[in-house]
Amino acid sequence: MRVYLLIAAIAGGVTWLITPLVRHLAIAAGAVGKVRARDVHTVPTPRMGGVGMLIGFVVAIVFASRLPFISGAFIGNDEAWIVAIGAVLIVALGVLDDIFDLDWMLKLAGQLLISVFVSWGGIRVVSLPFGSLITASPSLSVAFTALVLVTCINAVNFVDGLDGLAAGIAGIGGIAFAAYSYMLARHSPSYASIATLIDVALVGICVGFLLHNWHPAKLFMGDSGSMLLGYLITCASMVVTGHLDPSTLHTSQYVPVFMPILLPLFVLFLPLLDMVLAIVRRLARGQSPMHPDRQHLHHRMLRIGHSVQGAVLILWAWAALFAFGSLLTIFLTWQDVVAVCAVAACVLLVVTFWPCLRRRRIARRAVRGRVGGRSDVQSAHHARRDGDDVPAGSPVAAGGFTDDSVDGRGDGKER
């Protein structure tokens, strides 16, 4: 475990150190998001943060390949290097988009080609643990793997809407997957695991970049960063689940047979949900699936009344609930897991909708004040004095996020 923590620290440290240089490079290359009236940021902010994360990831992989504890996993196994090469390609595509704002169809075609290359290189889903083992033909396996990769890459890209949101969600997913793959590796002769290595490096680069990307961000990760995160977390899951025979897993090994397929879905549940809702919403309006709108989950959080930081922290909490809630099935019974998750979900629901509940309370207080002879202004001043929100329409109404206010995009681009 200490070796993996060291690798995560190296990935995070390199990312943190190199990101300021990447910021200057982005400015020189013209990868700077324009300021719009609805943006939180008041000055143009450079993108291309994915370059710094890529450097941190590659350095961590190269360093790990030289460690006695991990080096054995590289013998006769090119998975880590295939993932690294694919990461370079996906970031290169993202950099082109950050600079030239590529057409979405061209970007999608590039993602598909890179996914096929990675799949042919050996990172693929060979079997699916649905009841009995389902083994796909090589061509079908490549096609399915490419589809999953493109879907997850764009899911994380869609959720990259606020400073720190995508990096935090990917980091949380990386921690959950690292824990799971590490427990699987404990039943092998060696604890060394390529999947765990990828996950801890992913967590490291997320933490290192977050130090520059927390609101107000000094640098956006851009498409180069969001696509990299979606790519890495999906590749890590495929390294674990793609070759896993569920018949070898049972509760006596603390790994339920359904976990290989359940955990990836729960880890990426929030990004996938946001993407599916966006696509359905846009198609229902007769629009392109990539047509930008202001109905993403993070936009809704801002309209409810949360600050940018508050919205990010709450969405992180939901992501953690889905990711770590699924991991609890390794240690607890289904009944206990449902009970724990239900309590946590109820708490998060209250926190999520607290601004709405508070506004209703203030509105009722204002109505009682008017009935008692107090004016709207007096009620509003009492609310302001108590630190509460003020009823909409009040002469001294508190500021909040509305449909026409800022969106806090994490990369300065709409999707």
Q: Residue positions in the annotated binding site for Mg(2+)?
A: 157, 223
Q: Please count the CA atoms within 13 angstroms of the CA of 96 that sit on its side-chain side.
A: 13
Question: What is the H or E stretch that residue 325 is in?
Answer: helix 308-327
In sequence order, the 6+-apart residues with CB closer than 8 A to the CB of 49 are 19, 22, 26, 209, 212, 213, 219, 220, 221, 222, 224, 225
Backbone angles phi, psi at 299, to 5 degrees: -65, -40
Task: Give all strands (DSSP E) within 18-148, no chain letters.
Answer: 32-33, 45-46, 127-130, 132-135
Rounded Cα distance, 240 and 250, in Å:
16
Per residue, the 3-state secondary structure of 188-220, as one string, reads CCCCCCHHHHHHHHHHHHHHHHHHHHCCCCCCC
Residue type, 412: G
How many other CB atoms sit within 10 Å of the CB of residue 274?
Answer: 22
Q: What radius of gyration, in Å, describes the C-alpha atoms of the chain?
A: 23
Residues marked as binding?
A: 157, 223
User: For residue 371, how many other CB atoms are within 10 A of its CB?
Assistant: 8
| Neighbouring residues of 162: CB distance < 8 A, sequence distance ≥ 6 | 215, 298, 308, 311, 312, 315, 408, 409, 410
Q: Which amino acid type is present at position 275?
A: M
d(CA 4, CA 324): 19
Using left for φ > 0, alpha for ψ between -120 and 50, and beta otherwise, residue 128 falls in: beta
Question: Which of 239, 243, 268, 180 shows the shortest CA–CA distance to 61?
Answer: 239
Torsion on CA atoms 175, 17, 307, 34, rounded to nearest 10: -120
The residue type of 341 is: C
CB 170 within 8 A of CB 229: yes
Q: Which two tokens stand for residue 221?
A: 């990760």
